[in-house]
Chains A and B, each alone.
Chain A
Amino acid sequence: MLAYPIIELKDLTFAYTAQQEPVLDRVNLVLHHQQRIGLVGPNGCGKTTLFHCMMGLLQPQSGTILFKGNEIRDKKDVVALRREIGMLFQDADDQLFSPTVLEDVAFGPLNLGTDPERAREVAQQTLAELNLGHLEKRVTHHLSGGEKKLVSLATILAMQPRALLLDEPTNNLDSDTRARLIAIITGFDLGLIIISHDYDFLAATCTDLAGMDHGRIVPVDKSALHTHHHIHPHGAHPHEHRNH
């Protein structure tokens, strides 16, 4: 089973309309088991579109997607893929729709046919692993931005995926929540592709780096992860340093 990468894209091409230039232009990308890829590129270069194609939300015009070595051809294949690959949306409000946190986290397992009793256990366990157990009964839209992001991560992890696609996970997070997210992600033994403009974050969480520009995958110097300027999040205020 480990002989094949989790997901492999071959010459994937996608355009929203036939008249427009393709948003994805013959994209080739491989994600191996437990590989962590940071995906960088300017706004509008097709990163999110790439995720949507990989998850079967958009239909590429040409090219193939191989999931564990098998080509994705129909709805059934897509369903199988979504069981094992989770995607975190940019806006957590899109992802949390159930009235309470526990119900939202249990939503995925219930859809996979887990019985309610067990789904509740899985949800509680997932929340506990992320130290979010105290939020269980909270109403989702009353959570803070950081809590929403972590809970939406829990909703995906509750489905016990083998790989995660994270779309700009650190957007609008305060530095504490961001640090928490880094600690959580580095603890995973999952395949990961992370879209981000936050190079510090990618340096802390990823082992590989891929760039995208005008719908194509472009090589990125891996040392780019370490040649940025460091901006201290609390530089302007008196503060103590913790061990990092």
Chain B
Amino acid sequence: MLHRLDVRAKLPSAMLLITVLALSKSFPAALTGLAIGVALVVTAGLNWRSVTKRLLLVNGFVLFLWLTLPLSYPGSPLFSIGPVPISRDGIMLASLITIKTNGSVLILMALIATSTVADLGHGLARLKLPDSMCMLLLFSYRYIFVIQQEYLRLLRAARLRSFQAGTNFHSYRTFGYLFGMTLIKSHHRANRVRQAMELRGFQGRFYSLSSSTVTLREILFFALVIVLAGAMISLELRF
């Protein structure tokens, strides 16, 4: 259901919720944020397997906080493992960060990852972001793979001629050539793309195909998000 919601509603919603969540320092507010994230992901009907996969990836980084914060954070020790005191405040902080991180990622998954990059680009343009920024996003998305493939092609060609990367000047020079050549090729490609666009009448302005309008659904959704964000702020101020 969230897939069909217009980017103009989803993007500001995600930004608002994540800003509030990122700034909150109390458990009730953070837990509310996490709950909102879970609720949104459920509403979006995302595949639980891919959700878990992404969460595991993020929590890999969080794990490092759990390994360091309880040991290093000052404050009253909760208990000790041998001679090492485990800080109570450290554990609290690590839990808070874990909740906030997972909440933010869930919100992003439900609100941003449910749009295609193309929709995001056009949505940003309609939110009156500068045209050049939106073009940058769209073109990066389109050509990053092409440029990567060109680089890999060169690298493969070098390997086929028995090139083995090592710590020597020959390797450094070869990588220099590879990067340089990729840069030149990308530049030439950019020129050809521009030419092809001009031949089809491009004069510096993008016209969007979809004339989608913001409907009541988008307005209601954003209003709901504002209420939720307000609830989080009031929880934050009370505790």
Q: Indicate whether A103 reaches chain B with its CB closer than 8 angstroms.
A: yes
Q: Which of B168-218 contact A (CB under 8 A)?
A: 189, 192-193, 195-203, 207-211
Q: Indicate whether A68 reaches chain B with its CB closer than 8 angstroms.
A: no
Q: Is the CB of B195 within 8 A of A57?
A: yes
Q: Given A99-B142, A140-B142, does the pair A155, B209 have CB atoms closer than 8 Å? A: no
User: Hey, which chain B residues are within 8 Å of A177, CB to CB?
Assistant: none
User: Hey, which chain B residues are within 8 Å of A103, CB to CB?
Assistant: 118, 209
In angstroms, Cα B196 to Cα A98, docked, is 12
Q: Is the CB of A93 within 8 A of B201?
A: no
Q: Is the CB of A100 within 8 A of B118?
A: yes
In angstroms, Cα B145 to Cα A75, docked, is 34
**A114: nearest chain-B partner, CB-CB:** B207
Q: Is the CB of B192 within 8 A of A116?
A: no
Q: Indicate whether B163 reaches chain A with its CB closer than 8 angstroms.
A: no
Q: Indicate whether B50 reaches chain A with its CB closer than 8 angstroms.
A: no
Q: Is the CB of A99 within 8 A of B118?
A: yes
**Chain B, interface residues (CB within 8 Å), range:** 20 to 34
Q: Is the CB of B208 within 8 A of A111?
A: no
**A93: nearest chain-B partner, CB-CB:** B146
Q: Is the CB of B196 within 8 A of A99?
A: no
Q: What are 13 of the A-B contact pairs (CB < 8 Å)?
A: A89-B192, A93-B146, A93-B189, A95-B193, A97-B193, A97-B196, A99-B116, A108-B201, A110-B209, A111-B202, A111-B207, A116-B209, A116-B210
* Seed contacts A97-B142, A119-B209; 13 additional CB < 8 Å A-B pairs: A57-B199, A82-B199, A82-B201, A94-B193, A95-B196, A97-B139, A97-B193, A107-B197, A108-B200, A111-B201, A116-B207, A117-B211, A156-B200
Binding site for A on B (CB under 8 A): 116-118, 121, 138-139, 141-143, 145-146, 189, 192-193, 195-203, 207-211
Binding site for B on A (CB under 8 A): 52, 55, 57, 79, 82-83, 86-87, 89, 91, 93-95, 97-100, 102-103, 106-108, 110-112, 116-117, 119-120, 123, 140-141, 155-156, 159
10 shortest A-B CB distances, which residue pairs?
A99-B118, A111-B201, A110-B207, A108-B200, A94-B192, A95-B196, A116-B211, A106-B209, A57-B195, A94-B196
